[in-house]
């Protein structure tokens, strides 16, 4: 069983739900407290042992490349001003030369298409896929939890969480088999079913470990929900041919592709931040006192 060494980061989306903020800035560069979303995803991958980082980008995404590159002027200024802590904060995010590859998706044809674009860089190895929109706060990074499970099960693994049934039409949903409460056998996958048709409430979120056979399925270029090439549809065709499991990860997921979820993430990470946690708590208490009870007169 080959080790998971490579990760794909699909970052070619337009971020229309955050306009006008994302008109000139990639949504993956939106900051949660003091780090952009994409940095959280890269740090999570690095903690899981990932060695090669593949970014599938689009037009207007050069800020991501700049973020993971040297800024000689900035670093020199920080040195001259003796800003040791700030210097360490940017030095720690720089990958080893040759670890990072950027390629263009060119057309926004869906998540499956974005993953397929990286096929020649992955070749015959298992690969992780991380969606930066899904920010996960946990003691053990989510992808590391998945790699540990993969080392026991092999095959394909997706991160799953249980959601209210009325929300199943937002996710890929598992048809479960054996389930020990943490690791669930995947017997089928349905992309964004109506709540009445959902086979369970166990839904896939943006973390995957996939075998290279996924690219043969994506080679079909078949469209699914939303007339896009869906990764879920390609994964579903691997079920029964390879081991396939969902992992209920330890931690809390924040949907940072949604404005309310993004605000929630900033609050949670601010409260846990070693420098500003107490200040963030004071701010929330102050706003809490100012809020009127529901139904109160203006």
Provide the CATH number for the domain around residue 140.
3.90.550.10
Of 239, 249, 261, give the one whose Cα is nearest residue 148: 249
- Closest alpha carbon to 189 in 208, 169, 173, 167: 173
- Are β-strands 52-57 and 100-104 bridged in parallel, bridged antiparallel, or unpaired? parallel
pLDDT score recorded for residue 75: 81
Q: Tell me the residue range of the domain where 116 lies.
A: 6-257
Does a structural domain hold residue 287?
A: no
Q: What is the mean pLDDT of the chain?
A: 90
> Which pLDDT score is estimated for 247?
97
Task: Evaluate whether residue 131 is within a structural domain.
Answer: yes
**Residue 191 has what pLDDT?**
84
281 inside domain = no
Task: State pLDDT tens for residues 113-147.
Answer: 999 999 999 989 999 999 999 999 999 999 999 99
Q: Is there a domain that residue 152 lies in?
A: yes
Confidence band, pLDDT 50/70/90 cuts, at residue 294? low
Q: Give domain status of residue 266, yes or no.
A: no
Query: How many separate domains does the chain show?
Result: 1
Q: 74-112, pLDDT tens digit by residue?
A: 888 888 788 888 787 777 767 777 889 999 988 888 899
Question: Kindly report the CA angle at 89 between 84 and 95, in degrees rounded to 5?
Answer: 125
Q: How confident is the model at residue 27 (pLDDT cuts 50, 70, 90)?
A: very high
């Amino acid at each position: 069983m080959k080790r998971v060494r490579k990760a794909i980061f699909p970052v070619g989306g337009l971020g229309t739900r955050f306009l006008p903020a994302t008109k000139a800035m990639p949504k993956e560069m939106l900051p949660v407290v003091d780090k952009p979303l994409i940095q959280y995803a890269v740090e999570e991958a690095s903690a899981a042992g990932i060695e090669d980082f593949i970014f599938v980008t689009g037009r207007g995404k050069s800020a991501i490349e700049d973020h993971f590159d040297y800024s000689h002027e900035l670093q020199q200024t920080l040195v001259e001003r003796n800003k040791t802590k700030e210097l360490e904060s940017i030095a720690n995010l720089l990958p080893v030369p040759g670890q990072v590859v950027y390629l263009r998706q060119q057309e926004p044809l869906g998540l499956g298409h974005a993953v397929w674009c990286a096929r020649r860089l992955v070749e015959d190895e298992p690969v992780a896929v991380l969606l930066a929109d899904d920010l996960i706060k946990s003691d053990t990074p989510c992808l590391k939890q998945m790699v540990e499970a993969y080392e026991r099960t092999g095959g394909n693994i997706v991160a799953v969480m249980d959601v209210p049934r009325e929300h199943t039409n937002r996710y890929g949903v598992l048809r479960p088999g054996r389930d020990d409460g943490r690791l669930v056998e995947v017997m089928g996958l349905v992309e964004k079913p109506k709540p009445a048709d959902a086979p369970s409430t166990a839904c896939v979120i943006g973390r995957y470990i996939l075998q290279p056979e996924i690219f043969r399925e994506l080679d079909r270029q078949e469209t699914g929900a939303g007339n896009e090439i869906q990764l879920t549809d390609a994964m579903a065709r691997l079920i029964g041919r390879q081991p396939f499991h969902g992992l209920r990860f330890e931690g809390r997921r924040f949907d940072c592709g949604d404005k309310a979820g993004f605000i929630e993430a900033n609050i949670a990470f601010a409260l846990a931040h070693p420098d500003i946690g107490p200040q963030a708590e004071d701010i929330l208490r102050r706003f809490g006192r100012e809020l009127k009870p529901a139904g109160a007169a203006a």
